[in-house]
Chains A and B, each alone.
Chain A
Amino acid sequence: MKITKVELKDFHQFKDATIDLTYPKGHPKEGYPLDKVCIIGQSGTGKTTLLKTMGGHVFTKDALLKEYDYKDFEKVYVTKKFDDIEVKIKLSRKEELNELSYKYVWSSVKKGGKDISFNQGKLFQSRFYSKTRTRFIFFPADLHHEFESTGSVLSSKKVIDFTVDKVGDVWNLVFEEIQKFQEEEIKLKQEIAKVAVESSSNLTAIREAIQKLETWQEKAENPINRLAEECLDPVLKHINLQVKRDFNFEAKSDIGLIKLQDINGNEVPYHLLSTGTKQILLTAMPLYLLKPDKTLIFCDEPERSLYPSLQKFLIDYYVSLTKDSQFFFATHSPIIASCFEPWEIVELKFNKEGYVYQEKYYPEGAERHIDNYTIIPSYLTYDLMLSKVFDLPETHPLERSEKITEVLMLRNQLLKLREKGEIDSDPANEIYKKYRILANRLFWNFDIN
């Protein structure tokens, strides 16, 4: 089930906004829900609120109702699509036995664009859900960094909200497998030791015991290796870390928990990992271990504590860990935003009246067609991303502008002296010296004729 449209009328700072979340005309996936969405906008425009509201789902309902009144949601609709069924959802209030309850209800249901009955829709929905496991995953901006476990079995939950659920609980999904693997390995190694102690002269018996271990190692799939290769090492290599795969099992703690090491093989305890590294572990592992398929995944500020080089590939990395899911990111990072196609970006802005609207990247009145988009993030430098998308007119300090003027002036003076045949004169050499120092400091990033 993917979201195709959000309509927000008289909802807090949104006066009247309709956000189309389908691929535009001219795109090979025209009309289908976007696979990933990036919400950007000034602080206060409601990125996180929109992220939560867009879900139109249960896990943020209570949180939203703490911040807003029910009446705020009266004109808020979220349209979702599964197969060719499209349902329009809104929040509803019900009073029964003097108790108020809130739930999301279908205000309309269509199949192939035509209205169908509620019961028919429910039937199709239950068929669709039978093919899915986790329906929603939400990563808040302030993800709890302790890798604690409550014993909750996340794989059986339809809705996972890491505001309340513990990331550590995803570890349970592989814990038993790793534990079993490691125990078997210990057992086989102990067998070798036992043979060596009891029949030290029986080389054949020792060889057989070693052979048994090697055969097992060849056949058995090490779950830690799999987790390392398919999930963590591709990202950890960017920060000179890797999953520790060899254990000597001297300590009880060697069994079960994943450990990281630096490129020299020195183990790095979890509490000494950087905030950014923890952030990656705590988001990547649930995505990999929960194996989201047809899942809505919401991620607030994915760039938190991450160096630009990591941010750059983060979005593709997250998407690669999932199958046929729909991602929603809210971000302040131009690097993250540059990973999206223009139709995948929802930029929120305040208008003169103080209401929030969506900035469109095609001319007003023009058709929402791929050819009409004027801002294409993949064509832009990060400077241009900042100025054209994030509305930061100054992408470098004032002093740089002044120094560029100065270096061009010095160059002109040198050109003039060259024309006069005085390029090797003492005054020219003085100017040349100043010019080269300044040009180097500007990394020669200015135009020379």
Chain B
Amino acid sequence: MRRIEKDLTLATAYKNWLGNLEQLGENHPEYTSNNQYYKDVVANLLWIQQGLCAYTEMYLIDKDKVAPINWTLGRVNDFEFLGHLDHYYSSLKKERGWDWNNFFVIHADVNVKKKGKKIAHGILKPDDPHYNPFYFLEYDFKSHNFLPNCERDESLQEKILNDINTLGLNFQPIADFRREYLNPLIDDVFLRKLTLDEARGRLVQFYTAFEMSIQSLKLE
């Protein structure tokens, strides 16, 4: 899960609309995907998320499809995408359903799993200024699971564990896919069929897991 700079520079029509609501102290209208700004929010997020799921880094869309060139007056041209718009803190969905800080675009499977009872502690929030994947996480390249960094104290590890599970980072279909995607690349580096830079050049997803695997295997 990479750190995300939450720049709201493309969906300016939504930004103005949200700003007016905040200024007038009005409640947010009910959250629905039929809202006129829904796709703008999604497109802006996909652009800053580099076309990846905000939590799992799974490839969702070619980011060029939502690049600035596809925007006019703060509105995006229509586009198809896979994934769901997620409210990081689901408790805010009712009252503040259009809060930019609470939005991420994520893989549909992850969103389905996130509907459970778990609540994120916010330790692993990609846009948190203190969030650093290498500080909070480590990667077990054998099982292809993200784990709490064992250098952190145990109570923090418990919280990180909760957030890993809440965000579905190790949800089986994702972990299986991560294994199938990364293993051939990591193995090619290990066998010296590819240089590290060549392997990096081929990556289109799971960047953090790749780098952490390389570190664990001391392949740098």
Answer yes or no: A406 CB below 8 A from chain B CBs. yes
Q: Is the CB of A447 within 8 A of B143?
A: yes
Residues of A within 8 A of B148 (CB): 409, 412
Q: Is the CB of B142 within 8 A of A447?
A: yes
Contact of B150 among A398, A406, A415 (CB under 8 A): A415
CA distance A214 to B140 in the complex (A): 72
Contact of B147 among A387, A396, A400, A412 (CB under 8 A): A412
Q: Is the CB of B170 within 8 A of A412?
A: no
List the A residue with the shortest CB-CB distance to B146. Answer: A405
Residues of A within 8 A of B157 (CB): 409, 413
List the B residue with the shortest CB-CB distance to A384. Answer: B176
A404-428 CB contacts (< 8 Å) to partner B: 404-406, 408-409, 412-413, 415-416
A29-45 CB contacts (< 8 Å) to partner B: none
CA distance A205 to B21 in the complex (A): 115
Quick one: which of B140, B164, B175 has the most chain A CB within 10 A? B140
Q: Is the CB of A405 within 8 A of B164?
A: yes
A2-59 CB contacts (< 8 Å) to partner B: none
Answer yes or no: B171 CB below 8 A from chain A CBs. yes
Q: Is the CB of A408 within 8 A of B172?
A: no
Q: How far is the CB of B35 from chain A (nearest CB, A)?
A: 27
Q: Is the CB of A393 within 8 A of B109?
A: yes
Residues of B within 8 A of A404 (CB): 143, 145, 170
CA distance A446 to B172 in the complex (A): 13
CA distance A300 to B175 in the complex (A): 35
Answer yes or no: A395 CB below 8 A from chain B CBs. yes
Q: How far is the CB of B115 from chain A (nearest CB, A)?
A: 11
CA distance A98 to B139 in the complex (A): 77
CA distance A186 to B150 in the complex (A): 80
Chain A interfacial residues counted at CB < 8 A: 21
Q: Is the CB of A412 within 8 A of B150?
A: yes
Contact of B170 among A394, A402, A416, A447 (CB under 8 A): A402
List the B residue with the shortest CB-CB distance to A406. Answer: B161
Answer yes or no: A126 CB below 8 A from chain B CBs. no
List the A residue with the shortest CB-CB distance to B140. Answer: A408
Answer yes or no: B57 CB below 8 A from chain A CBs. no
**Contact code string B125-157 (vs A, CB < 8 Å = 1, else 0):** 000000000000010101101111011001001
Contact status of A413 and B109, CB under 8 A, knowing A404-B170, A405-B145:
no
Answer yes or no: A449 CB below 8 A from chain B CBs. yes
Q: Is the CB of A408 within 8 A of B145?
A: yes
Q: Is the CB of A409 within 8 A of B161?
A: yes
Answer yes or no: A401 CB below 8 A from chain B CBs. yes
Q: How far is the CB of A264 from chain B (nearest CB, A)?
A: 44
Q: Is the CB of A408 within 8 A of B147?
A: yes
Contact status of A393 and B140, CB under 8 A, knowing A405-B147, A406-B161:
no
Q: How far is the CB of B34 from chain A (nearest CB, A)?
A: 23
Contact status of A409 and B143, CB under 8 A, knowing A387-B176, A398-B171:
no
Residues of A within 8 A of B109 (CB): 393
Q: Is the CB of B150 within 8 A of A409?
A: yes
Contact of B138 among A394, A401, A412, A447 (CB under 8 A): A412
Residues of B within 8 A of A396 (CB): 172
CA distance A395 to B161 in the complex (A): 22
Residues of A within 8 A of B165 (CB): 401-402, 405
CA distance A449 to B140 in the complex (A): 9
Contact status of A413 and B150, CB under 8 A, knowing A398-B113, A406-B161, A447-B142:
yes
Q: How far is the CB of B217 from chain A (nearest CB, A)?
A: 11
Q: Is the CB of B173 within 8 A of A394?
A: yes
Residues of B within 8 A of A395 (CB): 172
Q: Is the CB of B147 within 8 A of A401?
A: no
CA distance A416 to B148 in the complex (A): 13
Q: Is the CB of B170 within 8 A of A405?
A: yes
Contact of B172 among A394, A409, A447 (CB under 8 A): A394
Q: Is the CB of A413 within 8 A of B171?
A: no
Contact of A446 among B113, B143, B161 (CB under 8 A): B143
Residues of A within 8 A of B170 (CB): 401-402, 404-405
CA distance A449 to B171 in the complex (A): 21
Residues of B within 8 A of A447 (CB): 140, 142-143
Q: How far is the CB of A118 from chain B (nearest CB, A)?
A: 53
List the B residue with the shortest CB-CB distance to A395. Answer: B172
Residues of A within 8 A of B140 (CB): 408, 447, 449
Q: Is the CB of A401 within 8 A of B150?
A: no
B151-209 CB contacts (< 8 Å) to partner A: 151, 154, 157, 161, 164-165, 170-173, 175-176
Q: How far is the CB of A259 from chain B (nearest CB, A)?
A: 48
List the A residue with the shortest CB-CB distance to B160. Answer: A409
Q: How far is the CB of B37 from chain A (nearest CB, A)?
A: 28
Q: How far is the CB of A143 from chain B (nearest CB, A)?
A: 36
**Contact code string A110-129 (vs B, CB < 8 Å = 1, else 0):** 00000000000000000000
- Please provide the 8 A-B residue pairs with the shortest distance between their CB atoms, ordered closest to farther: A447-B142, A393-B173, A412-B150, A402-B165, A447-B143, A416-B150, A401-B172, A405-B170
Enumerate 26 A-B pairs (CB-CB under 8 Å) in ascending A order.
Answer: A387-B176, A393-B173, A394-B173, A400-B172, A401-B170, A401-B172, A401-B175, A404-B143, A404-B145, A405-B145, A405-B165, A405-B170, A408-B143, A408-B147, A409-B147, A409-B148, A409-B150, A409-B157, A409-B161, A412-B138, A412-B147, A412-B148, A413-B157, A446-B143, A447-B140, A447-B142
Additional A-B contacts beyond A393-B176, A396-B172 (18; CB < 8 A):
A387-B173, A394-B172, A394-B173, A395-B172, A398-B113, A400-B172, A401-B171, A401-B172, A404-B143, A404-B170, A405-B170, A408-B147, A409-B148, A409-B157, A413-B157, A447-B140, A447-B142, A447-B143
Q: Which residues of A contact B (CB under 8 A)?
A: 387, 393-396, 398, 400-402, 404-406, 408-409, 412-413, 415-416, 446-447, 449
